[in-house]
Amino acid sequence: MKFRYAKYGQTLRPVVPIKLKNGDKEIGYHVLVDSGADMCLFDAEIGEAIGIDIKKGKMKEVIGVGGKASVYYWHKVSIEVGGWEYKIDAGFMPNVSGRVMPYGIVGQLGFFEFFKVIFDRASEEIELKRKAA
């Protein structure tokens, strides 16, 4: 499946829509497909909206590009992309994008393990191909 890059200010980014699920609760959410991210990180408010008590998860720490450490909480959830659903472990962090960008991040663990990802900036498209199970 193909998605158009999204424009944020003057910058094009490979952001795609997903559904984030916890039991019978779900919410639509946009995520940056980030090949440099080790895992999936979502905003704590999104987790709370689907019934997760964020601080009950295992507390961990991640270091961002600028060297700043941030705390997140590890939980099991499901994501749905293009009708395909996957159970994953993901981090929930207050202000995951620093409130600057309105999306979460999907990375190697929890996303790239399920999809072959083709970034085509010239065509402003990102293509996801489901890997065989």
Which structure tokens are listed for 92?
């929930």
Single out the residue of 105, 84, 79 nearest to residue 18, CA to CA: 79
For 88-119, the pLDDT digits (tens) are 999 999 876 655 678 999 999 999 999 999 99
Please give the pLDDT value at position 58. 96
Residue identified by tokens 């905003």 is 43
Q: Assess whether pLDDT exceeds 80 at residue 60.
A: yes
Which structure tokens are listed for 20?
């984030």
Spatial CB neighbours of 127, under 8 Å, sequence gap ≥ 6: 1, 2, 3, 117, 118, 120
DSSP three-state, residue 56:
helix
* Average pLDDT of the chain, as a whole number: 92
Residue identified by tokens 């399920």 is 114
For the chain, domains (ranges, CATH) are: 2-130 (2.40.70.10)
Q: For residue 7, with 0-12 CB atoms within 10 Å meaning exposed, 13-18 middle and 19 or more buried, which class applies?
A: exposed
